[in-house]
Amino acid sequence: MKPSVPWTGFDVLLFLALWLAPLLAGVATAYVASLNQPQVQAAAEDAKDHGHLIAQLVAQSKNSLVVFLTAFLAVVVVAPIIEEFLFRMLFQGWLEAKFKQLQIPYASGIAIVIVSLCFAAIHMNNHGAIDAQKLLTGLVVSCIFSLLVFVAGIVYLTQIRNVQIADYLLGMGRLFRPGLFTCTGYCLLAILLCFALNFALTQTFPGTNVAPIPIFFFSLALGILYSRTQNLSYCILLHACLNGISLTLLWFGAG
């Protein structure tokens, strides 16, 4: 039996605002740092072709363990938890419930596509260059704010909305159930296909920002996985695996 979805429109707007807050805090911190530090033009020029901000950070700080650990915390720990919490458990769950109330055919599928489009849109690569030290400072602040927001969100849901978080994180408390091996294979296949699609598009359209396309299909896989299992932990693990592999390849590739 799947847990019911109690989300309201207010919940979605609230958590969207809370999700944006850490990003704005990180951007503001990086901007303030830029006012107090000279722009490192050479490093910035070297990073222009790397696109994504994390890729720029790694490219400019190839031998820094602090940078690697900070990037790991941001993209492998914080991002999967916050993004899956918002996009899958909250946004997708709310859309599915609303579409079903309106008796819209294929409610779950439409909700998954809409969420995936939004998910891909926020992962558009940034092709502007930025100094590594400023980005690192902003990233640390953003991670701290994100974790605080996540804790605040959990308190809000459990204490005010009376939501049983364990039902969503562990699929009614049955993490190690027979379907786990099937989900594991599904996850590995989704990661492989995402990397293969990204490689093919990059080779076919060099110099073009193709990242949102594989991310869109990866989000579809996450959406289907959550819709079928109502188990957010599977989505978080899958998301963390993809980001971890990407960061590792990026790190050694930059070295």
User: Which domain does 111 fall in, by range?
Assistant: 9-254
Residue 173 is predicted with a pLDDT of: 45
Number of domains within the chain: 1
Q: Per the domain annotation, does 2 fall within a domain? A: no
Give me the half-sphere count of Cα atoms (radius 13 Å) on the Cβ side of residue 202: 12
Q: Per the domain annotation, does 4 fall within a domain? A: no
pLDDT tens, the chain, 255 aa long: 444 456 777 777 777 777 677 667 766 766 666 565 554 444 444 444 445 677 777 777 767 788 888 888 888 988 898 888 888 888 898 888 888 888 999 999 999 999 999 998 887 765 555 666 777 777 788 788 778 877 887 788 788 877 776 666 655 444 455 555 666 677 678 778 888 888 888 788 776 777 788 889 899 989 988 888 778 888 888 899 888 888 888 877 754
| Nearest C-alpha neighbor of 53 from the set 19, 20, 36, 30 | 30
Q: Per the domain annotation, does 52 fall within a domain? A: yes
DSSP for residue 234: H
Collect all residues with Cβ–Cβ distance below 8 Å to 243 and sequence separation of at least 6: 75, 76, 79, 80
Alpha-carbon gap, residue 249 to 165, rounded angstroms: 34
Two tokens, residue 187? 């996850």
Alpha-carbon gap, residue 146 to 88, rounded angstroms: 17
Alpha-carbon gap, residue 98 to 84, rounded angstroms: 19
DSSP for residue 172: T
Two tokens, residue 161? 């909305």
Alpha-carbon gap, residue 172 to 175, rounded angstroms: 8
3-state secondary structure of 174: coil
Task: Check: CB of residue 87 under 8 Å from CB of residue 19.
Answer: no
Q: Per the domain annotation, does 3 fall within a domain? A: no
Q: Per the domain annotation, does 116 fall within a domain? A: yes
Whole-structure pTM value: 0.78
Two tokens, residue 3? 């847990």
Q: Per the domain annotation, does 50 fall within a domain? A: yes
Q: Per the domain annotation, does 183 fall within a domain? A: yes
Q: Per the domain annotation, does 61 fall within a domain? A: yes
